[in-house]
């Protein structure tokens, strides 16, 4: 990549002057499949990306052009230059397709530990309907589907939902259904589609955590158990306080170090709906 940039005389983008071409480079690797995806993000221009694609041993090369002031790696106008758009990775005995705009954990080995922990905290016996909120490409939901009656996933990103549906087919899982929608608005309708009242809800929100409206819908669904996968303890804390105040017990919390030698940490928290007449804590 560096050699290509130097040989072509390409300059880095300067946000202050809004001059230059090269903005970002995103490389995603399937650690267990060997797949490699390269996404080049540039300002509008005409670099010879075909020459770059020919020189790279990648499963796919995507070129994104954007004139946005903010430093972003998505949006704008994207073009598949070579290969295929998605890569595949294996986790927990399942195979997952990952599109360029879809979220997927970057640490494969620890992601597997994270999902197994979430599955253990769900305490499934095979009779439950599980809500998988912020389901992304369906990773957690499909792992849960192996031990649940049914899984209903909800995700705002349509490309991620398409991946989740494809991943269910890829793994011959027929008891998981995925829908595109905002948890803040679509959760009540999702509950209506459930074959049985949801017994377990798994939430994996972005760093901002659950909004007041999302919490209201989640608590109105009255699942027996809530498994909260958090990428930000700062927002997990007030969300946990609200869940406990609504009549749940916080049974356990465990941090998962997905990003060693950084201040970032994932946490998995398990909540159980309190028995009538017993105060939550």
How would you write the pLDDT of the chain (281 residues) with one tens digit per residue?
888 888 888 889 988 888 889 999 999 999 999 999 999 999 988 888 888 888 888 999 999 998 887 777 777 788 999 999 899 999 999 999 998 888 888 899 999 999 999 999 999 999 999 999 999 999 999 999 999 999 999 999 998 999 999 999 999 999 999 999 999 999 999 999 999 999 999 999 999 999 999 999 999 999 999 999 999 999 999 999 999 999 999 999 999 999 999 999 999 999 999 976 555 55
Q: Which of 135, 191, 231, 267 is catalytic?
A: 231
**96 inside domain:** no
Model pLDDT, residue 174: 98
pLDDT at position 5, please? 84
Closest alpha carbon to 86 in 73, 101, 74, 76: 101
Tell me: do 53 and 156 sit in the same domain: no
Structural domain includes residue 95: no
> 109 — phi, psi (to 5°)?
-65, -45
Instruction: Read off the CATH number of the domain in which 37 is found.
Output: 2.40.50.1070
Same domain, 109 and 243: yes
If asked whether residues 134 and 80 sit together in one domain, one would say: no
**The domain containing residue 53 runs over which residues?**
2-85
Active-site residue flag, 231: yes
- Indicate if 52 and 106 belong to the same structural domain: no
Helices 233-245 + 212-221 axis angle, to 10: 50
Q: Are residue 56 and residue 138 in the same domain, yes or no?
A: no
Question: In this structure, is residue 114 part of a structural domain?
Answer: yes
**Domains: count for the chain:** 2
Same domain, 106 and 174: yes
Q: Is the pTM of this model over 0.85?
A: yes
Q: Which of 85, 120, 146 is the last residue of a domain?
A: 85
- Specify the DSSP element, H or E, that contains 249: strand 248-256
Q: Say yes or no: 133 and 256 in one domain.
A: yes
66, 121: one domain: no
């Amino acid at each position: 990549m560096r050699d290509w940039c130097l040989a072509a005389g390409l300059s880095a983008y300067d946000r202050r002057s809004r001059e230059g071409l090269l903005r970002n480079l995103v490389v995603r690797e399937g650690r267990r499949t060997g797949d490699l995806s390269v996404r080049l993000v540039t300002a509008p221009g005409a670099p010879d990306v075909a020459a770059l694609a020919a020189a790279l041993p990648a499963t796919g090369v995507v070129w994104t052009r954007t004139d946005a002031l903010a430093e972003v790696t998505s949006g704008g106008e994207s073009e598949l230059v070579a290969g295929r758009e998605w890569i595949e990775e294996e986790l927990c005995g399942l195979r997952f397709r990952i599109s360029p705009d879809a979220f997927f954990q970057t640490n494969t080995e620890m992601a597997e530990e994270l999902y197994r922990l979430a599955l253990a905290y769900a305490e499934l016996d095979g009779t439950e309907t599980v809500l998988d909120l912020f389901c992304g490409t369906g990773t957690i939901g499909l792992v849960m589907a192996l031990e649940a009656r049914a899984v209903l996933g909800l995700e705002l990103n349509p490309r991620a939902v398409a991946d989740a549906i494809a991943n269910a087919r890829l793994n011959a899982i027929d008891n998981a259904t995925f829908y595109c929608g905002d948890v803040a608005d679509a959760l009540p309708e999702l509950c209506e589609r459930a074959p049985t009242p949801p017994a377990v809800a798994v939430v994996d929100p972005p760093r901002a955590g659950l909004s007041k409206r999302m919490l209201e819908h989640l608590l109105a669904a009255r699942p027996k158990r809530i498994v909260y996968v958090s990428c930000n303890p700062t927002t997990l804390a007030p969300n946990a306080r609200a869940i406990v105040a609504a009549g749940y017990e916080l049974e356990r919390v465990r941090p998962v170090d997905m990003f060693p030698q950084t201040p970032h940490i994932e946490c998995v928290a398990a909540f159980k709906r309190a028995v009538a007449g017993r105060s939550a804590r």
